Amino acid sequence: MQSNIAIQMENISKTFGVVKANEDVNLTVYNSEVHALLGENGAGKSTLMNMLSGIYTPDSGSIFIQGQEVHFSSPKDSIALGIGMIHQHFKLVDVLTAKENIILGQKSGVFTKGKDLTKRVREISDRYGLDINPDKKVYDMSVGEKQTLEIIKVLYRGAKILIMDEPTAVLTPQEIKRLFQIIRNMREQGCAVVIITHKLNEVKAISDRITVLRKGRSIETVETEKVGIPNLIEMMVGKKVDLAIEKKLIDDKKPLLDLDNVLVIDNEKKHALEDVSFTLYGGEILGVAGVAGSGQKELCETIAGLTHAEKGRIYFEGDNIIGKTPRDIIRLGIRMGFIPEDRLGMGLVGSMDIVHNIILKDYQNQPGIFLKRAGCTEKANKIVKKLDIQTPSIYSPVKKLSGGNIQKVLLGREIDSDPKVLITAYPVRGLDIGASYKIYDLLNEQKEKGVGVLFIGEDLDVLIDLCDRILVLCNGRVTGIVDPSKVTKEEIGLLMTGGSMEQEDA
Amino acid sequence: MLKISKKAEMPKKQEAVIRTIAILLSILCAGLVIMILGFNPVTVFGQIILGALGTEMRIQQTVIKAVPLLITSLGILVAFKMKFWNIGGEGQIMMGAFGASLVALNVPATWPAPLTLFVMAACAMLCGGFWAFIPAFFKGRFGTNETIFTLMMNYIAIKWVTYLQYGPWKDPGSQGFPKIATFEDNAILPKLFGVHIGWIIALILVVLVYIFINHTKKGFEITVVGESVETARYAGMNINSIIIISMLISGGLCGLTGMIQASAIERTLTSSLSGGYGFTAIITTWLGRLSPPIILFVCLAFAILLQGGAYLQISMAVPSSVAYMIQGIILFFVLGSEFFLQYKIVRTHNTEKKEVA
């Protein structure tokens, strides 16, 4: 069915310092094809695509676009050849309108011809089934709209080859459906679309062919229809992985943490949390779902005493803990591990070793003014052993460990203190599949011990498999607490967007 | 085409080699400059060493210069460890000297010297600490920029002392000369081995600051805040109080320098008392990689250069600014070597490919 080759990358290698990001990678993408680039974090997907869009230059290997060999020295060259990349983090100017963002950086006359532009934007929108108001300011847009704008921006520049880096990461299930429709329209118009992702369900839903990368090498290119998800995982991970999350039900549940009508106002005087009320029981994992920035961080920080609540009460075993210092709350047995996007920022000190990172939560309970390391050295050894953390020694700086091991240190430290409530935000962020499942096991183990686990998650599939109940946040409000065995992803998605029925037709 | 790319972290040995090369190159380069100026570099370097360490008296002078530099560096270290850029050493020294003078000029001459000196030191540390507390407070409360704030506080302190010197504190017995009265004998630091006991205080402080930073809970908190404020917050630390305590210590140590200079060197308060030590100490702290033992050696080396440079002027009629030039060159090379510790320059093979395209 495919007629001509849009992209051909041959034996591409790229090294950063000692890290081989790509090694002899081969990739062929046809016109009128949706091609998924699949691989775990650090497999080299983004590096490969950055070379295709001219951000990096390969150390060796050659790239052909529509049959012509090319050498990009800047993204300009690649744009000129009709390659457009949509990054994970949108590159838009907030205070400008959609239209202004589209022409930004384009060569044009001194004055922009407003009407012509609107007409062209409308043309593109109609052709691909995109929907955007050209005069809307970016700061008024939802994440979905911003993404649509990014796509239009790229199409406006004449792109015939689109690269999308994890386009679904920030979208609700409804928005994802709509995005997939747009991608299909583009395919029909003859575009080649490359999607970078590690979500297998989506790969199956949208792509025609899949190239799997592992540890910087291209493993195989397969046709989507002819391959099953277990096979894909095996290709990604390099071995068979058991993908079942067991969910044990604990009968004897007692309420541990009780939030009552909590109101939090952020720095911009917006209501970050409003009327939030729920109860967390011991022996359960309560999942929190929501579009990024719906108040998840504020929720964690308020419980931990790091953010001040304007109104409301938080009872822990009968005592109101609002107004207590973070230190007091830690002493009560409420522990939080928050994995930010850069992974190290909030829980660990990258330049310090495992021992000192354990001391971080421990030293406050030591008497006297001097720092005692002996006990923590023991603890460090214990945690490293128990969680099977790969490290040269307990004295090497944690920033030198791999992402999974860093997260194990963080979680291991919190678990080691025998918490009563464990708040964990994005604990598998950036982890490979095997490591993720180890983290889920750890959380389940805590649940069985009677700990109340609050799990802030990104991936709805995981939330549904792992959690006993799921709380959905939308714009700082609780729009529902659901039983995952009784709802669909789409229903949760609706709650995430405030329960409105729009976009259902997609 | 040349390209800069990040290096893998290298072993400690190789780091030491690069740093040594940097220092050797800087000496070489300084030698070239001296040659251009028309002097023989070997003689000049020889004279610097001779001038700094040649006789007992010169060694004493070198130590006298090293003491304020060292104590101020230790003070700045406490702030820098927290990534609080305290550029206000000058002002804190001045205010410390002011605090010491306040005591020295007002207590009766009959007070025993140890008591007077102790009260002077305490008052100096309070005043220096207070001067550092102000920017720390504003930083914690309003998020002000500490670099600009501490820098500006320097000028306020210096002008304040100038005002005192020309105004209310002018010694009536100085026949109209703008000068503050000389301290009584009970306010002068005693000497040991020909140098005022500031050097003993400095050595004790090296040990104390080392223990404080590496072995106390507060020191650990300061280090964590310096590495990542968010991590400190998530660990339940009270960041504002940590910033304020460490700045009180930082300013207090600088204030102590002021007291030592006022008591042992000037024997009074003058507006030129801080002598640029507050700024030079920033360099020594940085070159000492925020480690008290290394700072001790760096400060000694700088004192040798300063003292040797002063001697050059007399012995060879070389301007003493040559010593400052050498300092600058060393700094340039050593800081420049940091770049080579982290990055390498590689040749890209683009040239042949370009032809194909």
Q: How far apart are CA A294 and CA A437, in angstroms?
A: 26
Contact: B5, A348; criterion CB under 8 Å? no
CB pair distance less than 8 Å for A70 and B357:
yes
* Count of structural domains, chain B: 1
From the list A71, A326, A330, which residue is nearest B353 (CB)?
A: A71
- Check residues B254 and A397 and name the one with the higher pLDDT: B254
Q: What confidence tens digit (pLDDT) does each residue in B44-59 have?
A: 888 889 988 988 889 9
pLDDT in tens, A117-173: 778 888 888 888 777 888 888 888 877 888 888 888 888 888 889 998 888 877 778
* pLDDT recorded at residue A455: 92
For A28, A38, B18, B24, the CA distances from A215, given in Å and listed in that order, are 19, 12, 33, 43
For CA atoms B33, B37, B43, B47, the dihedral sign is negative
Specify the DSSP element, H or E, that contains B157.
helix B146-166
CA distance B327 to B318: 15
Number of Cβ atoms within 10 Å of the Cβ of A472: 27
Q: Which pLDDT score is estimated for A107?
A: 64
Which residues fall within 8 angstroms of residue A355, CB to CB, at 6 or more apart? A373, A376, A377, A380, A394, A395
DSSP helix/strand/coil, B302: helix
Structure confidence at residue B173 (pLDDT): 81
| Helix (H) or strand (E) run with residue A150 in it | helix A143-156
Q: What's residue A494's pLDDT?
A: 85
Helical residues (DSSP H) of A216-295, grouped into ranges: 229-237
**Counting every residue, how long is chain B?**
357
**CB-based contact (8 Å) between B354 and chain A?**
yes
pLDDT at residue A286, as a whole number? 93
Nearest by CB: B230 against A70, A346, A351? A346
- Position B43 in a domain: no
For residue B51, tell me if it sits in a domain.
Answer: no
SS (H, E, C) A392-405: CCCCCEHHHCCHHH
Average the pLDDT over each of A14-28, B93-107, B280-294 and give the range with the smallest value: A14-28
- What is the tens place of the pLDDT at every residue in B209-224? 999 999 999 999 999 9
Residues of A in contact with B353 (CB under 8 A): 71
The predicted structure's pLDDT at residue A113 = 64
Reported confidence tier of residue B346, pLDDT bands at 50, 70, 90: low
Whose tokens are 């995109």? That residue is A130
Inter-chain touch B235–A360, beta carbons under 8 Å: yes
Cβ-based contacts under 8 A for chains A and B: 84
C-alpha–C-alpha distance, residues B106 and B183, integer Å: 10
Nearest to A71 among B230, B238, B357 (CB): B357
φ/ψ of residue B196, rounded to 5: -60, 155
Q: How far off is chain B from A43, nearest CA to CA, in Å?
A: 19
Is residue A277 within 8 A of residue A260, CB to CB? The reply is: yes
User: Looking at residue A335, what is its pLDDT?
Assistant: 79
Closest CA to A428 of A446, A405, A407: A407
Asked if B242 contacts B82 with a C-beta cutoff of 8 angstroms, the reply is: yes
Closest by CA position to A103, among listed A112, A115, A91: A112
CA-based nearest distance A309→chain B, Å: 17
3-state helix, strand, coil in chain B (%, to 5): 75, 5, 20
Residue B57 lies in a domain: no
pTM exceeds 0.95 for this model: no
DSSP state of B181: P
Domain membership of residue B170 (yes or no) is: yes
Least CB–CB distance from B231: residue in A326, A336, A347: A347
Q: Which of A16, A71, A345 sits opposite B228 (nearest CB)?
A: A345
Pick from B220, B224, B236: which is nearest to A327 by CB? B236
Listed in sequence order, the residues at least 6 apart from B12 whose beta carbon sits closer than 8 Å to its beta carbon are none
Cβ distance B228 to A71 less than 8 Å, yes or no, reads: no
Q: Is A69 on the interface with B (CB under 8 A)?
A: yes
B350 vs A: CB within 8 A: yes
What is the domain extent for residue B226? 66-287
The CATH number of the domain covering residues in A5-237: 3.40.50.300
Asked whether A148 and A132 are in contact (CB, 8 A), the reply is yes
Whether residue B152 lies inside any domain: the answer is yes
Comparing CB atoms, the residue among B6, B220, B238 nearest residue A371 is: B220
For residue B84, the SS3 value is coil
Return the closest-CA partner of residue B78 out of B258, B285, B240. B285
Judge whether B72 and B281 are in contact, CB under 8 Å.
yes
B240: closest CA among B133, B346, B93, B92?
Answer: B133
Q: Which of A306, A363, A369 sits opposite B234 (nearest CB)?
A: A306
Dihedral, CA of residue B313, residue B319, residue B324 and residue B326, to nearest 10: -90
Each domain of chain A, given as residue ranges in start order, spans 5-237, 255-345+419-496
Q: Are domains A5-237 and A255-345+419-496 of this chain identical in fold? A: yes
| Contact at CB, B228 and A369, closer than 8 angstroms | no
Between chains, do B217 and A363 touch, taking CB under 8 Å as contact? yes
- Cβ of B6 within 8 Å of Cβ of A16? The answer is yes
C-alpha B34/C-alpha B38 separation (Å) is: 7
Instruction: Please check whether residue B302 lies inside any domain of the structure.
Output: no
Contacting residues for B249 by C-beta, under 8 A, at least 6 apart: B75, B78, B129, B212
For A390, other C-beta atoms within 10 Å of its C-beta total 11
Q: What number is the ipTM of this complex?
A: 0.78
Name residue A19's beta-bridge partners. A16
Indicate the residue of B227, B236, B238 with minimum beta-carbon distance to A330: B236
User: From the CA of B277, how many Å to the nearest CA of chain A?
Assistant: 31
pLDDT confidence bin for B261, thresholds 50/70/90: very high
pLDDT for B218 equals: 92
Looking at residues B312-341, what average pLDDT do you find?
80
Residue A164 token pair: 């999308």
**CB contact B141 to A (< 8 Å):** no
Spatial distance between the Cα atoms of B236 and A334, rounded to a whole number of angstroms: 12
Residue A294 is given by DSSP the state: S
Q: Give the minimum alpha-carbon distance from B248 to chain A in angstroms, rounded to a whole number.
A: 17
Q: Select, from the ranges A74-78, A240-244, B101-105, B344-348, the one with the highest average predicted confidence (pLDDT).
A: B101-105
Residue B4: its pLDDT value, please?
66
Query: E strands, chain B, where?
Result: 2-6, 191-192, 195-196, 343-347
HSE at residue B311, side-chain half, CA atoms within 13 A, is 24
Contact by Cβ (8 Å): A289, A466: no
A326, closest residue in chain B (CA to CA)? B236
DSSP assignment, residue B267? S
- State yes or no: pLDDT of B353 exceeds 60: no
Q: Is the pLDDT of residue B356 over 70?
A: no
Q: What's the distance, CA A59 to chain centroid?
A: 29
Give whole-number Cα distances, B115 to A239, B103, B263, B294, in Å: 76, 11, 14, 33
pLDDT of residue A242: 64
Which chain A residue has the Cα nearest residue B227?
A: A349
| pLDDT greater than 70 at residue B2 | no
The residue in chain B having the minimum alpha-carbon distance to the alpha carbon of residue A340 is B230
| Buried residues in B153-163 as b, exposed as e (16+ CB within 10 A) | bbeebbeebee
* Separation CA A275–CA A16 (nearest Å): 49
Q: What is the mean pLDDT of chain B?
A: 87
pLDDT band at residue B313 using 50, 70 and 90 as cut-offs: confident
pLDDT at B338 over 70: yes
CATH code at A255-345+419-496? 3.40.50.300
- How far apart CA B235 and CA A361 sit, in angstroms, is 6
Confidence at residue B354, expressed as pLDDT on a 0 to 100 scale: 39
Residues of B in contact with A347 (CB under 8 A): 231, 234
The C-alpha of A220 sits at a distance from chain B's nearest C-alpha, in angstroms, of 28
Average pLDDT over residues B272-299: 90
Query: How far, in Å, CA of B166 to CA of B273, rounded?
Result: 15
How far B292 CA lies from chain A's nearest CA (Å)? Answer: 18
How much is the pLDDT for A504?
A: 38
Q: Is residue B16 part of a domain?
A: no
Instruction: Give per-residue pLDDT as tens, B138-194.
Output: 988 888 899 999 999 999 999 999 999 998 888 888 787 888 888 888 888 888 888
Chain B CB within 8 Å of residue A367 CB? no
List of chain A residues with pLDDT < 50: 1-2, 500-506
A363 touches chain B (CB under 8 A): yes
**Residue, of A372 and B294, whose pLDDT is higher:** B294
Asked if residue B304 belongs to a domain, the reply is: no
Contact A474/A294 with Cβ under 8 angstroms? yes
d(CA B216, CA B206) in angstroms, rounded, equals: 15
Q: Which chain B residues are within 8 Å of A349, Cβ to Cβ?
A: 223-224, 227-228, 231
First to last CA, chain B: 17
The amino acid at A122? R
Q: Which is nearest to A16 in space by CA: B2, B6, B191? A: B6
Side chain identity, residue A295? G
Cα–Cα nearest to A382, from A405, A346, A354: A354
- The number of beta carbons lying within 10 Å of the beta carbon of residue A32 is 18
User: B254-265 b/e with 16+ CB inside 10 Å = b?
Assistant: bbbbbbbbbbbb
- Whether residue A340 lies within 8 A of chain B, CB to CB, comes out as yes
Confidence of residue B200 (pLDDT cuts 50, 70, 90): very high
The confidence score (pLDDT) of residue A41 equals 72
Under a CB-based contact definition with an 8 Å cutoff, are residues B126 and B255 in contact?
yes
